[in-house]
């Protein structure tokens, strides 16, 4: 659907030149919910603006359904955008905003009225159709922005952190809503966010970006369970990092314990590696349990559904375990208690050191 090849973007020139994107390659499939995820300044919004046509790349090409659209202006692309703060037209009503793109395309009045009606139903804004966009709430503005961008039936919908201005509860609702809209309309969504949870819950595939590069592209499960490097593992969810050396098909932690880990065949015997394990894959048992790693409880933090247990291993390295909170809310693990720790099979990932 969208083929991004060798795309680079440099802002400014001379000494002040800043490379926002460096030779980025990506392919976005038809009907896909594709997310660009990364911290601020990673180039994700720049990439989105290049696809929208607001900026043009310094190098490389962007193709849409086989056509080269690299230098096409935004009004010539079958691509619409939902802006971060919605950018609704303040001098038009809700219905007027939704109709705008259709009017610009020169559609007939009856056709426009029909589509606007359909869109108002789709985002459940029928009751507020004649309100001005300054008179409705943030969540409602969000829906109007979506309807406005979907009305011309673009091939691709671009969403630039559209949920960041909403409060937590509304954000969760809109996450589900967006997913529903995407599957109902069958339009390719390209979604930009810095919120890893948002990315994980909605996306078909995620591209994790940093410093103008795409580090990894994969399904949420892929990215979460098999991060390619320390940055990805750290950015997506919480992770424990432990230093280890390859010992046969296993790894030996600095604490001296030998544990099973993912594929170590890339690394030579004795090579130093970092292993990553998610807190929810850490199990805590009674001290001295067979095959367990000795640890002491340093602190317990209660999060409602979960309780985080901060542990210290034999060599002083930190490890966090996430346990489901029992009905009483008391984990029964007091500070200083000696325990043993085990990792779920296949949960330990080996990263480049």
For residue 272, list its beta bridge partners: 245
Residue from 35, 46, 70, 80 touching another protein (CB under 8 A): that is 80
Site string for another protein, 118-137 (x = CB under 8 A): --------------x-----
Which of 20, 48, 79, 207 contacts another protein by CB under 8 A?
79
Task: Return the number of the residue (149 or 259) whose C-beta is nearest another protein.
Answer: 149
Comparison of 105 and 338: residue with beta carbon closer to another protein: 105
Q: Of the ranges 99-107, 176-184, 240-248, 300-308, which one interacts with another protein (CB under 8 A)? A: 99-107
Candidates 35, 45, 81, 255: give the one binding another protein (CB under 8 A).
81
Name which of 87 and 258 has its Cβ closer to another protein.
87
Q: What are phi and psi of 161, to 5 degrees?
A: 40, 55
In whole angstroms, what is the distance from residue 43 CA to residue 11 CA? 11
Q: Give yes or no for residue 75 binding another protein (CB under 8 A).
A: yes
Q: How far is the CB of 148 from another protein (least distance, A)?
A: 7
Is residue 105 near another protein by the rule CB under 8 A? yes
Would you say the C-alpha torsion 152, 157, 161, 167 has a positive or negative sign?
Answer: positive
Residues 6+ apart with CB under 8 A from 75: 104
| β 205-210/213-218 pair status | antiparallel
Helix (H) or strand (E) holding 50: helix 44-52
Shortest distance in whole angstroms from residue 11 CB to another protein:
14
Cβ pair 123, 144 in contact under 8 A: yes
83 touches another protein by CB under 8 A: yes
Q: Write out the two tokens for 60.
A: 């490389």
Kindly tell me which residue out of 87, 136, 260, 337 binds another protein, with binding defined by CB under 8 A: 87
CA dist., res. 273 & res. 265, Å (int): 12
Token pair 């310094």: residue: 58
Q: Which residues contact 109 (CB under 8 A, 6 or more apart)?
A: none
Min dist CB 120 to another protein, Å, is 16
Are the CB atoms for 50 and 57 separated by under 8 Å?
A: yes
What residues from 23 to 62 belong to the interface with another protein (CB under 8 A)? 52-54
Determine, following the binding rule CB under 8 A, whether residue 100 of this chain makes contact with another protein.
Answer: yes
Across the strands, what pairs with 21?
A: 9
The nearer residue to another protein, 150 or 319, going by C-beta atoms, is 150
Please report, as ranges, the residues that interact with another protein according to CB under 8 A. 52-54, 73-75, 79-81, 83, 85, 87-93, 96, 100-101, 104-105, 132, 148-149, 152
């Amino acid at each position: 659907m969208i083929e991004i090849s060798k795309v680079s973007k440099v802002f400014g020139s001379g000494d002040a030149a800043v490379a926002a994107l460096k030779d980025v390659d990506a392919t976005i499939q038809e009907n896909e919910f594709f997310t660009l995820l990364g911290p601020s300044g990673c180039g994700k919004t720049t990439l989105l603006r290049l696809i929208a046509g607001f900026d043009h790349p310094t190098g490389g090409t962007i193709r849409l359904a086989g056509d080269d659209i690299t230098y096409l202006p935004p009004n010539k692309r079958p691509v619409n955008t939902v802006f971060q703060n919605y950018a609704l037209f303040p001098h038009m009503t809700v219905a007027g905003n939704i109709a705008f793109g259709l009017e610009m395309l020169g559609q007939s009045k009856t056709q426009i009225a029909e589509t606007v009606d359909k869109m108002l139903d789709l985002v459940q804004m029928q009751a507020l159709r004649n309100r001005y966009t300054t008179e409705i709430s943030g969540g409602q503005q969000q829906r109007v922005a979506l309807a406005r961008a979907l009305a011309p039936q673009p091939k691709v919908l671009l969403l630039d952190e559209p949920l960041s201005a909403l409060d937590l509860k509304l954000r969760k609702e809109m996450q589900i809503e967006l997913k529903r809209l995407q599957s109902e309309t069958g339009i390719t969504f390209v979604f930009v966010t810095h919120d890893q949870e948002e990315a994980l819950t909605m996306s078909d595939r995620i591209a994790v970006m940093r410093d103008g590069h795409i580090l990894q592209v994969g399904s949420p499960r892929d990215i979460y369970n098999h991060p390619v490097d320390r940055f990805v593992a750290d950015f997506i969810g919480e992770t424990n990092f432990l230093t280890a050396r390859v010992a046969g098909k296993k790894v030996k932690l600095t604490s001296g314990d030998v544990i099973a880990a993912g594929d170590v065949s890339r690394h030579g015997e004795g090579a130093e590696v970092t292993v990553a394990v998610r807190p929810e894959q850490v199990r805590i048992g009674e001290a001295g349990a067979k095959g367990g790693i000795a640890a002491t409880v340093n602190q317990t933090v209660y999060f409602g559904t979960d309780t985080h247990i901060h542990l210290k291993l034999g060599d002083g390295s930190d490890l966090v375990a996430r346990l489901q909170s029992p009905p009483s809310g008391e984990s029964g693990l007091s500070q200083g208690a000696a325990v043993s720790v085990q990792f779920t099979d296949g949960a330990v990932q080996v990263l480049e050191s």
